[in-house]
A and B are shown apart, each in its own frame.
Chain A
């Protein structure tokens, strides 16, 4: 199992801080317009200065434990139930891991391209969902706009064309998933050593009919994100931003590759921490820290230790680690995006949105490229080879690098599972972003709903999926309570009241 270290218990830390100075605790619960459940707590002193800010993940799932004993070929179907937004990522990461168990990691070209099509379809729908449904209210109306309009319904009313585009792009991606995986959510397409179907000519032609429209809309969305970032750069440059390491898979030639590659990590200056590392040896490079105040672990690069070894993953990190993108429009946009960093990695947290939209365009370009590839109609779907007792599979999920690792016994049962999901990698950065925004915007001020939304805006930049990261989507009211040191309730605000 991956090495784990224990951090100082948060309660102890809080007690120490609190015992020196009387502090007020503000809880923002739940954080909204993200996937999963989280809360933010602030410790504020008498003068209103923020002494500590944390994002707590309050879900517990337990997949790593209850998959034990199940047959390995169930993993791609079972483990994807972690998530309803990006199940394809888990489906494919698990499939890549079990490919190795059956000795089928050298997939047929039909199988690999079908899986890639599935993955790009998913990236397309997930990025569109996040940008249009979850983030656009903040960008279009402002961080502290009236929450009555700062939501997806508000967007649909004021920008109906944009809202329709968002819905149709998501639908397109979901239909690609259905054609490759059998179902829009939680399909069964990827099986050990391959895929269980190819793409028929009829299916292909339906997607070809609309792909140019999707590419146009993707570029429009990219323009919104780009224009927003450049127009508000003065404010956004520091908003929840900080220098950090960045991690992703890259292709052997350094190109962006969302489905397969080797691990590459760069520091805030752009220096390589490691490059072209075979992900099967990930245990030599990563460790995870456990902090008792969160169900989500804190991974770090072993060689740098927990203090300096944390890193970011996802669209921003991917554009920072790759040398180029192998599709023309996205590559042109990547070059423009990288100018933000002035020759170094881009460390502007809010630039995640711009980077995500570059990937949206890339996904559309890749889908178009694949749809014209006759290999998708091939008949060679599954390959198998020498059986192994262990398999590791990684993909670049929409939210970042996703690790799946399984060991099986001679009876084909899983005896160990280790999952490190994208959002988990971003745990430390999200906490830092929250701390930074709290210090910059909330410090010394009367806490208002609009100010609290600034914290959520910083978290949303990462498009976290906490259901995945803790290995429930539901509706909880936003409740903020302000207590004094003795635990007396001073103020209470609930969303909707």
Chain B
């Protein structure tokens, strides 16, 4: 019995495999669905909601929703993209994201998504929260000003490193990232080799003393927008036909 499942995403017929989510099937087909909390190596968190698509007129997270035969998915629509722009916008104003001086600039997924969606200035007022910086670890710098609470570091530490260095505290607007120690990152068992350090999509969790080493022009998103790698698959497939 074949594992192939056929579904439609924005009127494009896509063939996925049993057990895949909408996001994974779309990726394989070269259709980029924006995401921040999802990364390949980790179980989906479904916290950022950027990958929200419409299935049977209901919003679902593409990173968790399994595909089914005949499923009809709406993804690149004006209302959904407006909704995504608003979410990105809110992430910017809820933190203190100083892109011009941030060492993650050019490699930052949040910034790259803002560029992709044509956001040049936020539409909501800045909240300018007072958030701490934890520089206690000899090799790692944790700047909560830039944390978007995607949970990637929390999951990476647990699932890939077998540790629980990071954790969330509080609820709603009071929710914040914490570390598994009385107060400081230095008191956790975080190592420089931990996968958690590679997981942060923004400039919140950084290796110390390597900032700005990649020149402007050679950074990840300097030359092409985020998602281009996935979309290139579709172009390659089209060229083959």
Binding site for B on A (CB under 8 A): 69-71, 73-74, 76-78, 81, 102, 181-183, 186-189, 191-192, 196-197, 382, 411-413
Contacts and interface: CB of A to CB of B under 8 A. Distances in A.
A189 B215 contact: yes
B208 interface: yes
B38 to A, nearest CB: 29
Nearest to B137: A411
Contacts of B215: 182, 188-189, 196-197
B213 A191 contact: yes
A411 B214 contact: no
A71 B217 contact: no
Nearest to B186: A411
Contacts of B101: 74, 77-78, 81
Given A81-B101, A412-B141, A71 B216 contact: no
Q: Which 3 A-B pairs have the closest CB atoms?
A: A182-B216, A411-B135, A197-B215
A82 to B, nearest CB: 12
B175 interface: no
B135 A71 contact: yes
B79 interface: no
Given A71-B135, A73-B103, A412-B141, A188 B216 contact: yes
A201 B103 CA distance: 28
Contacts, number: 52
Interface string B189-230: 000000000000000000011011111111000000000000
Interface residues of B, number: 17
B212 A413 contact: no
Of the listed residues B100, B211, B215, B218, the one surrounded by the most CB atoms of chain A closer than 10 A to its CB is B215
Given A71-B135, A71-B141, A412-B135, A77 B208 contact: no
A37 B203 CA distance: 34
A412 B135 CA distance: 7
B123 interface: no
B22 to A, nearest CB: 38
B137 to A, nearest CB: 8
A196 B103 CA distance: 13
Interface string B85-109: 0000000000000001101000000
B218 to A, nearest CB: 8
Contact of A187 (B136, B141, B213, B216): B216
Given A71-B141, A182-B217, A186-B100, A77 B212 contact: yes
Interface string B128-164: 0000010110000100000000000000000000000
B135 A413 contact: yes
A188 B209 contact: no
Nearest to A195: B215
A200 to B, nearest CB: 11
Contacts of A196: 212-215
A81 B133 CA distance: 21
B208 A412 contact: yes
